[in-house]
Structure 1
Amino acid sequence: MNEITLHDGRALAWHEFGDAAGRPVLFFPGSSSSGLAGRGIDAPAQAAGIRLLSIDRPGLGHSDPAPARRLVDVPDDIAELLDQQGLERVGVLGHSAGGATALAVTHRLPDRVTATVIGAGSGPYAEEWFRAEAEIPGMSKTFYGLARRAPRVFGAVLQSSTPRTAKSIDRTIGMISRGDSPDAVYARTHPDETRAALEAVADGFRQGSRGPTEDARVVCLPWGFRVEDVHGHVEWWHGLQDGNVRPAAGRAITSRLPDVTAHFVDGGHFTLLDGAHPIWEALGSS
């Protein structure tokens, strides 16, 4: 684990994986996940020649909270990280909820981003057009509504439903491995990577439920910028069998991004990070 002190005294932490001498790429993992999530993609990052800096967003893992922040504010922390580490330009990889942060960084720091690659990114739930087009399941609508309007209730539900011990993680792996969906197959064939992803979520609760709650709220509340104003090139990948973030959500976002190459391919939510997936080619050649 690595850590810097930001200008306001907060700690910003990250974990490094992949090739230490490779091209620097920032990784923003899914909701509630600390930078430990990068452990599950260490091998493909190394094979692609990528130095992966896997970020603990505010309030997750070892990073201090940033109360009342908006998504548009998060890149200010990233700019400080790049300055302190002497990194002029970096690639950006965002998965699921981390895709929203990747878009924010590309929007605010266009001259410092060499490539933006997003796998099944979350959209701006506060925007009416997104809610209308994204085919959001009813349960998710309830969940997102709690995050926006009843954060304490949301935090309690989130904490009670998140596996945070070795035994509960084992049980969860057993449950999500059942069936024939792409993500179930992925969990069966990539048990170590699946465990790494679940352990990263548990680590996201290191400081309690407030950090994960705020992490979700930042995506659900107004972002502070429009998708249409993200002018850097984005490579968007989305699994056609994704049950977490439906393909319709990806199509709604990519239809509004000014400069995007959209790939809708066979696969689920997590198979996009498989080491054999072409998503790594775009990052490795950036």
Structure 2
Amino acid sequence: MHQLVMAGGRRLQYEVSGKPDGRPVVLHHGMPGSASGPKPRNSVLYRAGIRLICYSRPGYGDSTRRERRTVADAADDVLALAGALGLDRFAVLGRSGGGPHALACAALLPERVTRAAALVSFAPRDAIGLDWYRDMAASNQHSYAAAEDGGELLQGQLRHESDRVNADPRHLLTRLLREMPGADRRIVADPGIESQLLQTYAVAVRAGAGGWIDDMLALSSDWGFDLGDIRVPVRFWHGAEDQFAPASHTRWLAEHIAGAKAEIEHGKAHFHALTVMLDLMCWLAATGSAPRAAA
């Protein structure tokens, strides 16, 4: 792990893996999450010719909190990170709550971003023609409703959750399992994936619930950019059985971004995004198909 000191002294935690001179891809993690979140192994990334840059959004892990941040603010952080790493051009990938942040970079950094992709992403809360809560798990419905009501109830809920995760990272995974469809349960049962999820949850909230709270509020508010400004190639992937971020969100996003392509895969759900992540990274880096080794 490394830390970038931003203007004003704010810190941004990040990690670089894969091939040092490979094609750069910036990964925006899920929610709650961190730079240590699930990703392909270093050796797999190296063989694929990818240089993967993961960072913890403000308030997560060792990244300084930035209250009242918007989704669009992610572009400033990524631009600073790219400057520190000497990246002129790069691709962006977002998973779940990280999806909108990747799209923000595509819209606001058109001279730097080459391609963008989002896995199991959310659509804007004010998306016209989208029944935003339809087919969404009850826990997510309650949390986003609390965010819309001003956030006071949400902050109390997430601080309580963060305290419990700090005491035992398995708490959050156990709670999520209650609402997972069978497709997700089979993915999370893999010991390697389970370990990665527990690690990222633990790192995400070790300084408190700030990042989680700010993510929820940002996703529930105006994102701060126009999806119509995205001109780079965009791909979406979503499991049709997803109950945490319904697939209808990806369908809506693909319809509102010129030239975007979406794959909705039946029989798969939210955590299947971890199994297709490498293929999307290879497309982003324009390196062709993924190597045979497992991610």
TM range (shorter): 0.7 to 0.9
Q: d(CA) in 2 for partners of 1:251 and 1:13?
A: 32
Q: Counterpart of 1:137?
A: 136
RMSD: 2.7
What CA deviation, in whole Å up to 9, does each residue of 1:124-145 have, x standing for no partner? 11x1526536625373333112
Q: 2:36 aligned with 1:33, yes or no?
A: no
Maintained 8 Å contact 1:40/1:192: no
Q: d(CA) in 2 for partners of 1:53 and 1:26?
A: 5
Q: Counterpart of 1:213?
A: 213
Q: CA deviation at 1:219?
A: 1.1
- How many residues are aligned here? 284
Maintained 8 Å contact 2:135/2:243: no
Q: d(CA) in 2 for partners of 1:73 and 1:107?
A: 12
The aligned amino acid for 1:83 is G
Q: 1:84 to 1:100 in 2, by over 3 A?
A: same
Maintained 8 Å contact 2:165/2:171: no
Q: 1:147 to 1:78 in 2, by over 3 A?
A: same
- 1:1-286 matches, within 5 Å, as 1-39=1-39, 42=42, 44-125=44-125, 127-129=126-128, 131-132=130-131, 135=134, 137=136, 139=138, 140-161=140-161, 164=165, 168-169=169-170, 172=173, 176=177, 181-188=182-189, 190-266=190-266, 267-274=268-275, 278-285=279-286
Q: CA deviation at 1:159?
A: 3.8
TM-score (norm 2): 0.85
The aligned amino acid for 2:274 is L
Runs of 5+ in structure 2 lacking a partner?
A: 288-295
Q: Secondary structure at the match of 1:129?
A: coil
Q: CA deviation at 1:176?
A: 3.1
Maintained 8 Å contact 1:36/1:203: yes
Q: d(CA) in 2 for partners of 1:118 and 1:41?
A: 20
Q: Secondary structure at the match of 2:165?
A: coil
The aligned amino acid for 1:82 is A
Q: CA deviation at 1:108?
A: 0.6
Q: d(CA) in 2 for partners of 1:133 and 1:150?
A: 18
The aligned amino acid for 1:114 is T
Maintained 8 Å contact 1:19/1:49: yes
Maintained 8 Å contact 2:236/2:254: yes
TM-score (norm 1): 0.88
Q: Secondary structure at the match of 2:64?
A: coil
The aligned amino acid for 1:54 is C
Maintained 8 Å contact 1:177/1:184: no
Q: d(CA) in 1 for partners of 2:176 and 2:71?
A: 33
What CA deviation, in whole Å up to 9, does each residue of 1:134-171 have, x standing for no partner? 62537333311212324232133224345625855189
The aligned amino acid for 1:129 is I
Q: Secondary structure at the match of 1:36?
A: coil
Maintained 8 Å contact 1:40/1:196: no
Q: 1:172 to 1:77 in 2, by over 3 A?
A: closer
Maintained 8 Å contact 2:169/2:199: no
Maintained 8 Å contact 2:181/2:243: no
Runs of 5+ in structure 1 lacking a partner?
A: none
Q: d(CA) in 1 for partners of 2:225 and 2:9?
A: 26
Q: CA deviation at 1:34?
A: 0.9
Q: Secondary structure at the match of 1:225?
A: coil
